[in-house]
Amino acid sequence: MSGTGPDLTVLEVVPTEAEAELICSLLQDAGIPAMQRQTTMGGGAADGFPAGGPREILVRAEQLSRARETLERQQRGAG
């Protein structure tokens, strides 16, 4: 998945890059293209560096429902 065009939507916001990578990996394993990016929340907290802070998980809008179901199944299984 490349770019952040209008067909992408935020699935979830997580506190760390590691958690974002884990969720993206889970979604991709389920056949759902996903990417993550730093949010604008807490802007300037890392003095312009792209490290740290909350991360948005992005998926294609038409796959949002399936992505939510995939995460819910994972959370139930881990709980």
Span 2-55, pLDDT tens digits = 555 569 999 999 999 999 999 999 999 999 999 999 987 655 555 555 557 899
Taking the C-alpha atoms of residue 18 and residue 31, their distance in angstroms, rounded to an integer, is 20
Do the Cβ atoms of 37 and 23 come closer than 8 Å?
A: no
pLDDT at 43: 53
| DSSP labels, 11-75 | EEEES-HHHHHHHHHHHHHTT--EEEEE-STTTTTTTT-S-SS-EEEEEEGGGHHHHHHHHHHHH
User: Total domain count for the chain?
Assistant: 1
pLDDT at 41: 61
Q: Which domain CATH number covers 59?
A: 3.30.70
In a domain, 3, yes or no: no
pLDDT at 75: 85
pLDDT at 11: 97
In a domain, 21, yes or no: yes
In a domain, 22, yes or no: yes
